[in-house]
Amino acid sequence: LFRKGAALEALAWVDTVVLDKTGTLTLGQPEMTNFNAIDCDATEILRLVAAAESKSEHPIAEAIVRAARERGMEIPPVRVFKAEPGFGIEADVDGRRVQVGAGRYMERLGIDLKDVEARAGELAAKAKTPLYAAVDGQLAAVIAVTDPLKDGSPEAVGALHALGLEVAMLTGDNRGTAESIARQAGIDRVMAEVLPGQKADEVKRLQAGGKKVAFVGDGINDAPALAQADVGIAIGTGTDIAIEAADVVLMSGDLRGIVNAAGLSKRVLRAIWSNFFWAYAYNVVLIPVAAGVLYPLWGLLLNPMLAAGAMSASSVFVVTNSLRLRGFRPPIEGRHRVIQETIENIEQAA
């Protein structure tokens, strides 16, 4: 869905596509895969961590809470809760201070991660996001969650490359995890460990380097970046705020729609330029003739009826050339082709 007509033209000039990771490049449905307690009871620490995360709306928090419930744990109540976007959370559970978050959050708290750096590196190399839990100021666990790529993501990235576009990924994940996911998807550039409020700044930095940027996102914190980009593309299954800030909406949430939108945009731009050429060519050639430029040489004048016919022919040509866009076929038809075939089969059966 092109929400703004200007985006139909602007997308044809884009040379860099920046993809947000969670919920855009990936499914946005993370699962907890590892919970390694450090010198303490893993069951008790997971119970405390799950309680703290139960007050958060982040998909990773939901994954941890779900894993605890699948293990039959009862989640105790939380008295105090505080979240720092891009860093982590802090909660008071059963009189104990529980802090869960990324490595930068632990560093801010002054908690030493040297003993678990190697373990976290191994998890990141497997495209898992390492998190840390501290209880009463002491490191208590290393947690890993994974969020699989959407089925069409690698295909979409390859098709964008085929269109001559550079593809970048922007994420708040640590660099090791981000680079592992980028390798799986075939992405050129990685912008990792970016705080939610810095996404628009990263887009602005690319633009300052002469890039024409399309940003693709789905979350509330993606809205500033969507507005800053030359073309903002929102995932239709994302938040309403992201959709309102975007110029283009992928209604199905399938990243292959970006390729189809870019292909359509380039076709439209070619049609615009060819229409300009032929419209001006008619006028450049025939206006001097209508003005009598050939009369002194050969005594030729343009009959008014012929002039009117030529003008009509020019308009008919331009409109007909534009109608050729009805024959546009998406570069990646995917589910669109399947849906169309299903509709045709239903019509034939009826």
Q: How far apart are the first and last CA of the chain?
A: 30
User: For the chain, how many residues are written?
Assistant: 350
Query: Tokens in use for 133?
Result: 């839990």
- By the 8 A CB rule, do 29 and 149 touch? no
- The residue behind tokens 């890993």 is 144
* CA 293/CA 273 separation, integer angstroms: 28
Q: β-strand 231-235 against 248-250: which pairing, if any?
A: parallel
Q: Is 201 a catalytic residue?
A: no
Alpha helices in the chain (DSSP H): 5-10, 42-53, 59-70, 103-109, 117-125, 153-162, 175-185, 199-208, 223-228, 240-245, 256-290, 295-298, 304-323, 334-349
Residue in 20, 218, 222, 254 annotated catalytic? 20
- By the 8 A CB rule, do 273 and 43 touch? no
Q: Which of 69, 73, 53, 227 is nearest to 141 (CA)?
A: 53
Helix or strand run (H / E) with residue 191: strand 189-191
Residue positions annotated with a catalytic role: 20
